[in-house]
Amino acid sequence: MRFLLAFLVVGPLIGAVAALLPAPPGLQGKSPEQAILRHGVTVTGVVLIAAIVLALGFDHDHPSKMQATTDISWIPALDVRIHLGVDGISLPLLVLSALLTFLCALYSCFKLPSGPSPKAFVALLLVLESGTLATFAVLDLLLFFLAFETVLIPMYFLIARWGGEQRTRAAWKFILFTLLGSVVMLLGLLLIGIKAGTFDIMALATDNGSGLTTSVQVTAVLAIGIGLAVKTPMWPLHSWLPDAHTAAPTVGSVLLAGVLLKMGTYGFVRILLPVAPDGFRTFAPYLGAFAVVGIIYGSLACLALARRGAKGDLKRLIAYSSVGHMGFVLLGIATMTPTGVNGALFANIAHGLITGLLFFLVGALKDRTGTTDLDTLADRTGAALYGRAPRLGGLVAFAAVASLGLPGLAGFWGEMLALFGAFDPADDLSRPAFLTFTAIAAFGTLLTAAYMLVVVRRVCMGAAPQPDTPRLADVQTYEFAAWTPLVALTVVAGLWPKVLLGLTDPAVQQLLSGGPR
């Protein structure tokens, strides 16, 4: 078990180095490019299998217990230990990351984004995977920071080299914003580590903030919170996200939305809630307020983009919808109740599945029509995907409906639980404030439904295609292969939420009452 977890972190790195070396003679395939892309699929596939085996071997009766732990001293001078472990909170995120990266590798094996050599592409993808998996696996504050930073350089290059229009600017905005956030976060992490005398998340969580004065906690939560909020992103620190998503290649967008944003919310749950509860309590109402502003803001921005004649970009629209969805996640965390935090974690996973799927679909649409501009796509009456490529149209409608939170699909439970949590927040939080948030956020779900339905109407429906309009290629086999798991999991998580909640709930209960053991 512990080797599996260590392999999850190290395996992709070894794969990345191997990708830069020339291929061994037997495995060259048709062309060197083909060989290197297949190498990417193999490595991410092995990592995904390892993650699944880890999930199967996980003791589901005790999800609140840290399992598969490794604890080795690495830099005694800074008290940095290679401390890895997985519990019910991190396990779903680990599997989600491994799955999405594998699907991305598979997708790009058949549909390589236009840009320089695929060799670098695969290597960067693997480094990115290592960084994301490490973020969810480490239990040391400084290692968490290291993993947090590891994803920056690969993502920068993925956007700047393989991206679309305005990619250079978007890539710079992405890396400078998130670096500024994470360096400020480092200051908070150091403050906690120095005042408490340890960087170990487990030890700090067991103390539950008892070793830290309130003023230290408040300062640290402010610093760490800003760093995580940039990554999440929380309104008003979100402005890098729409640009990055619009410019990034399909695979980059999927990973950005599906995995990288989760690192921010995971940090809130894993570090801030158990380690500095007093400080967090001070800021919880503000966090909640920013979260609901984000929900409303994201929905209004989407509505504006979806309007006819607004020249709205579909990728940009989904990016703004992410701001709204992450608002629900943050609202759930801000309640500091098991219900709210469970909802946040559920919404996290659901957003990864659904938004990942949406970006895949929009990417496919762009490959076929050459544009993501809603007005160009929809022309006068609508893009009429139902008629021109029925399966693709059906999938778009499915993903959009899942995203607006239809009961029975994954998007529903997370938002509902977050709202429930906000309805009855932790004892020492102001109930009236959170009731207001609940009401506003509930209104936000209506707005979300509104713009998603507008998008479905403009993209999927429309006047019956004339005989002379070119038919679009419908869903290809490799696209089915890449998307089916996401669709299936969305349905499973929607119909049987206990799969996830059974894992997260005990861990969250433990977390809020004195840390994992």
Partner 1 sequence: MSSPAQSAAQSVVQSVDWLAIAPPTVAALVGLAVLVADLFLGDNRKALLGWTSVAGLAASALLLLPLLDGDRSTFCLTGSTDVCSYTADRFTLVIQFLVLGGALLAALLSVTALKDADRGLPEGEYWFLLLSSAAGAALLPASRDLATLIVALEVASLPAFALVGIRHGDRKSSEAALKFFLSSVTATAVSLMGISFVYASTGTLYLTEIADRIQHVDPQLHTLAQTGVVLTLIGFAFKTAAVPFHFWVPDTYVGAPLPIAAYLSVVGKAVGFSGLILVTVVAFPSYADVWGPALAALAALTMTVGNVGALRQQATRAYSAVRLLAWSSVGQAGYLLVPIAAAAYSDDAQKSIGSTVAYALMYAAVNLGAFAVAALVARTKPLNRVSDYRGLYATRPLSALVLGFFLLCLAGLPPGIIGLFAKVTVFSAAVDAGLGWLAVIMAVNVVIALFYYLQWTALLFRAPENDEERHRAPAPLTVAIALTAALGIALSGAPQLVLRFTDTGLF
Task: Give the residues lining the site for partner 1 (CB under 8 A).
Answer: 74-78, 80, 116, 120, 127, 131, 142, 145-146, 149-150, 152-153, 156-157, 160-161, 172, 175-176, 179-180, 183-184, 186-187, 190-191, 193-194, 219
Nearer to partner 1, 45 or 115 (CB): 115
Residue (of 272, 30, 10, 307) closest to 141 by Cα position: 272
Cα–Cα distance list, 11 to 27, 37, 54, 184, 261 (Å):
19, 17, 14, 30, 23
Nearer to partner 1, 110 or 172 (CB): 172
Residue (of 466, 438, 376, 446) closest to 405 by Cα position: 446
Nearer to partner 1, 149 or 424 (CB): 149
Burial class (CB in 10 A: 0-12, 13-18, 19+), 252: buried
Least distance to partner 1, CB of residue 230, Å: 12
Cα–Cα–Cα angle for 362, 126, 179, rounded to 5 degrees: 80
Locus of tokens 């993993």: 147
Least distance to partner 1, CB of residue 340, Å: 31
**Does a cis peptide bond (omega within 30 degrees of 0) precede residue 390?**
no
Nearer to partner 1, 147 or 365 (CB): 147
In whole angstroms, give the CA distance from residue 33 to residue 35.
Answer: 5
Least distance to partner 1, CB of residue 47, Å: 19
Nearer to partner 1, 147 or 251 (CB): 147
* CA–centroid distance for 384 within its chain: 30
Least distance to partner 1, CB of residue 82, Å: 12
Cα–Cα distance list, 509 to 44, 225, 413, 427 (Å):
33, 22, 18, 15
Nearer to partner 1, 264 or 444 (CB): 264
Least distance to partner 1, CB of residue 172, Å: 7
Nearer to partner 1, 182 or 510 (CB): 182
Least distance to partner 1, CB of residue 190, Å: 5
123: which residues sit within 8 A by CB, 6+ positions away?
16, 17, 19, 20
Q: Which amino acid is at 461?
A: M
In whole angstroms, give the CA distance from residue 487 to residue 398.
Answer: 8
Tokens, residue 146? 């290291």
Tokens, residue 418? 């977050």
Nearer to partner 1, 113 or 387 (CB): 113
Nearer to partner 1, 193 or 497 (CB): 193
Least distance to partner 1, CB of residue 252, Å: 16
Least distance to partner 1, CB of residue 145, Å: 8
Helix (H) or strand (E) holding 182: helix 167-196
- In 313-430, which residue ranges form alpha helices assigned H by DSSP? 314-334, 338-369, 374-378, 385-388, 390-403, 410-423
Find out whether 9 and 133 touch, Cβ atoms under 8 Å.
yes
Least distance to partner 1, CB of residue 20, Å: 8
